[in-house]
Amino acid sequence: MTNPFLRALPLLALVACSLGTAPAAPEGSVKVLFIGNSLTSQNDLPLTIAQLALSAGLPQCYCYTITRPNFALEDHYDFREAVHALEDESWDFVVMQQGPSALASSRAELILWAGLFGEMIDENGAKAVMYSVWPQYDRAFDFPNVAESYRQAADAIGGSLAPAGEAWRNAWARDSTLALYAPDDFHPTTMGTYLAALTIFQRVYGRTPVGAQQVAVVGGRLQNWPVAIVRLLQEAAAAANAAEDARIAARR
């Protein structure tokens, strides 16, 4: 079902669950396919990225979302909807995520299935982006392990990493009172989603998120956060991406 806010703003973005409901991408738009679960759909992460692009005066984001609760990449591969999206449509970027994948076994699964999707993404001519998430609240010690799992998956497929979990940690280092976990201690608040969106926005558009907005918009809703907090979040996301860029540069 298409998000009702998007029906009101058809030239901004598209978020849908089936290619059969999707109109053609507007000419000149950046086509981004999102494959994931509720960590993508919560607070409408794709629409948040599209709004960032609009605020920054960049080409609009045609954001197409295939998410199902609790799905891992293996589930998406078996369900075939994402496979057909890659076979039947061309994309500029494909953003992928599953759960935290901090354990050795789940890391191996992430790398395996990201690899299978990565082959299709290469054939499609798109660029892969691994959306690195975060552990549940009571496993905060796993932040580095989550980041490493997604980092290895990105490296394995020659994709880029959007280090959302590291952006969360950067933000907390600046202000430990920021509420990034929702009440279930796993899903993101609107602020947590905004941080994730900022990291992905930079990977897709190749520009810093710092200054992209003075007033944050998450899932089509204006947020009444102080300008200083919005700037803090943008800087935290940019710093996370810069650290990842430095890591890649150091390997060359």
pLDDT 10s digits, 138-166: 999 999 999 999 999 999 999 999 999 99
61-67 sheet: strands from edge to edge: 61-67, 30-36, 93-96, 127-132, 160-163
Residue 135 predicted with pLDDT over 70: yes
Residue 8 predicted with pLDDT over 70: no
Q: In degrees, to the nearest 5, what angle opens at C-alpha 37 toward C-alphas 32 and 42?
A: 85
Boundaries of every domain in the chain: 4-251
H or E segment and range at residue 163: strand 160-163
CATH of domain 4-251: 3.40.50.1110
Structure tokens at 140: 């905060």
Beta strands in 24-145 (DSSP E): 30-36, 61-67, 93-96, 127-132
How far is 165 from 173, CA to CA, in rounded Å? 13
**pTM of the complete model beyond 0.75:** yes
Give me the pLDDT at residue 251, please.
Answer: 84
